[in-house]
Structures are given as C-alpha cells and as structure tokens.
Amino acid sequence: MSNTTRILVTGAGGFIGHHLVKRLKQEGYWVRGVDIKPPEYEDTAADEFQILDLRRWESCLEASENVDEVYNLAADMGGIGYITAFLAGISCNNILINAHMLEASRSNGVKRFLFSSSACVYAQYKQKSADVSPLKEEDAYPADPEPGYGWEKLYAEELCRYYYRDYKFETRIVRFHNVYGPLGTYDGGKEKAPAAISRKVALASGGGHIEIWGDGQQTRSFMYIDDCVEGLIRIMQSDHREPLNLGTDRLVTVDELVDLICGIAGKQLNKRHDLSKPQGVRGRNSDNTRLREVLGWEPAISLEEGLRATYNWIASEIEKKSLVQAAA
C-alpha cells in the first residue's frame, strides 16, 4: 500500500486505536482518528481527531468521508466484569456502531474495511476446560458465543461477509485474544486481567494479599500491544476476507499471571480468591495455524517482556497520581 493512503481509525481514543494511530503515522500515512472521547493518557498522533458518537448514522458518514481504509476499532467494551454486567447496552451500542460504519464506509467509497472482532465469539461449550484446545476459526460454529458482546461481534462478522457477497466491499475480520500493554485502562471497571492484576500488585505491600477473581485456575493467552498493531496492519494488507485469530498460543492460568507480575514487581503476595466474581469461560487459547499460513507471521513478544513494560507503566501512573494527590 502506498503511504498516500488516507486511513480512518475509529476508537482512536482507546487503547488499541491509540497505538495503531501512532504506528500508522510512523509509516507515513495520513490518519484521521475518531472517538467519543479523546485519548486518556497522551495526545493523539493523528492528523485529524474528531469527537463523534458513532452510534449515529450522520457521525459515521462524516467520519468515513475522503478516506481509503477504515480500521473499525470503536466499541463499547471492557473486562469480564463489565461485559457481563451490561448486556443490552453493550449489544445495542456496538450493533449501531458496526452497522452504521459498514454502510457509511461503503457509501463513501472506502476501499477496505477492517472489523475488530473478539475471541468472545467462540462457542462456550468448547471452552469448559482449563487445558482447552487452541480455538480454530471454525470453532465459532455451531454458535454459542459470550452473551451480549460475543453475539454482537459474531453477527457483525456475518455482516462483513454479506457486504462482500452483495456489494464486493472488501472487509477484513480480526478476532483479538486478550490484548494488553501500556496506555491501556487499568482501573475503573473496564480493565482486563493483566492491567487489573498489575494495578493490584503495584498498590499492595510486600507480604500482603491481593484479590483474584475466581479460583485462579482459569486459563487465557495474552498478546502484547505491539504485536497486535503489527498483526492489524498485516491483515488489512492481506487478501484474506475470512475471520483470523490474532493472539498468542501460550496458555497460562490467572494464578500464573499473578506470579509473573509479582516477580516483575519483586513482591511476595498472598492470593485471596473470590469465587463470587465473574471469571468467564474456563479456558481460551488461540490457534495460530491459519494466521501463520496467511501472513507468514505470528505474535512473538514474550509474556514476560510485555508484562514488564505494562507493569512498569501502570506502577509509574499510580505513583504519579499519588504524588499529585499528596501535593493537593
């Protein structure tokens, strides 16, 4: 792709979108960022940044005007506590965003549209064991996705397929598996496990305890943000129109994740498990076979390396906040 390509990133005020905008600008692209809010932790690198509510049709038309490619990352989402608490609101918001952005992009002559889906589309009956088999793309069917968020993601994937079938509108579909890294939400209820645990470890005194949701034996794989951005750009530039996993295939328990972060922090902490909290499916892992076949590439940044950068950033943010409060 030529660097004269004009790109829209929706959700550019969010974690993945913000990092993607920075990378695209480094590559020399012209980038418009759109979100319902500005970036939380640092200024955007985008050439233009518009505050728009993409649940509204007129906003989607405005956002997608005069661009060649759309990375549609805008979504109402968060960690397991959030997505299990607001099924109707999340589903309705995201259905509106995705349907309006697809049609507005097609109407405005956009050449390629990338939809950010999720591993939450995978059938829950295939994820009942902690030593879960890696999930292949076809394991989304017969359908039994995560309630709310998973269902609307799965339907939007189908909508992308219909837009290619009926209009020959070029769509790409990415299924994210647990993305983490600096500049991600780490408190307030929408944070995911690596950020939430990093915050808890940073705030805990050595020899103290931290609360873990569930029994700590539930398993996941985790992908560092730099690998995520690299994969997004490669998938957009590929000729593959069907859904693709984007994640790592290293499975760890939540307790193992806690131990890794404690090691990075140099703290010995006791785990207190809360079985009343939501913990999602028992196990989830990414099968990267098709990703390797299509791209000749897969995420390679180690969990240790990624967690070190993430923990250090969160710990420094917490320290900054405490210094501001102490000075107030």
The DSSP code sequence of 205-243 is: PTT-EEEEESSS--EE--EEHHHHHHHHHHHHHSS--S-
Q: If you ran DSSP here, which 8-state letter would residue 245 be given?
A: E
* 243-253: pLDDT as tens digits: 999 999 999 99
User: Hey, where are the domains in the chain?
Assistant: 6-179+225-246
pLDDT of residue 2: 52
Residues of the chain with pLDDT under 70: 1-2
CA distance 289 to 287: 6
Per DSSP, which regions of 225-326 are E strands? 244-246, 252-253, 270-274
Q: How far apart are CA 133 and CA 149, in angstroms?
A: 22
- Token pair 């965003």 is at which residue? 97
Q: What is the pTM of this model?
A: 0.96
Per-residue CA distances from 105 to 40, 65, 160, 305 (Å): 27, 8, 12, 38
CA angle 197-203-207, nearest 5°? 90
In degrees and rounded to multiples of 5, residue 113 shows phi and psi of: -135, 120
User: Tell me, which fold does domain 6-179+225-246 have in CATH?
Assistant: Rossmann fold (3.40.50)
Residues annotated as part of the active site: 149
Cα angle at 239 between 235 and 240, to 5 degrees? 65
Strand order in the sheet with 30-35: 48-51, 30-35, 6-10, 69-72, 112-118, 170-176, 244-246
Residues 6+ apart with CB under 8 A from 312: 264
